[in-house]
Amino acid sequence: KYSDLKSLLKFVNSIAEDDLMVNINRKFTLNEEKQWLKDSLNRIKKNKLHLLVADHDGEIVADVSLNKKDFRQSHVAIYGIMIKRGYRSMGLGTFLSKTMLEIAKKDSEIKILCLDIFSNNKIALGLYRKLGFKKVARLSKRVLYKGKYIDKFIMDYPLNKI
């Protein structure tokens, strides 16, 4: 909701500051975050996005999403998760992921659930494997991270709907 705008901005910018192994590599402006929120709320209304946000004492500390693709890939959803420093490695990622996987299973439009991940992100790879994601592809040198080109893995979750 729009009342969460400043908290969302603080959260996403904390992820950028930590220089995590995610695609975000810079801070966002208030206007950029406002546009993202507007677009996200619109996609939620159209059942094109599932988004869960975790907060602690009114501060956003994590989010997890299923972003449905369009057109000939409308049966595919992209999974994403971000967790703020200080809230990692305590089970929050597992809890949010399991919750979102249940949502994916109940959404009749989603036939394939996938994610992409930096190949050197060992902690996240362990979580995804534990949840049941399977590596289906390796994309060579797709990410520039800390001055090095890193491969990405594509992983799918077996929803068994096709």
- Which token pair is 22? 């995610």
Contact, 114 vs 78, CB < 8 A? yes
Model's pTM, two decimal places?
0.92
How many other C-beta atoms lie within 10 A of the C-beta of residue 145?
A: 16
Categorize the per-residue pLDDT at 20 as very low, low, confident or very high, splitting at 50, 70 and 90: confident
- Tell me the per-residue pLDDT of 141-158, one tens digit each, with 9 for 90 and over: 999 999 999 999 999 998
Categorize the per-residue pLDDT at 160 as very low, low, confident or very high, splitting at 50, 70 and 90: confident
- Helices (H) then strands (E): counts for the chain: 4, 6
- Tell me the per-residue pLDDT of 96-137, one tens digit each, with 9 for 90 and over: 999 999 999 999 999 999 999 999 999 999 999 999 999 999
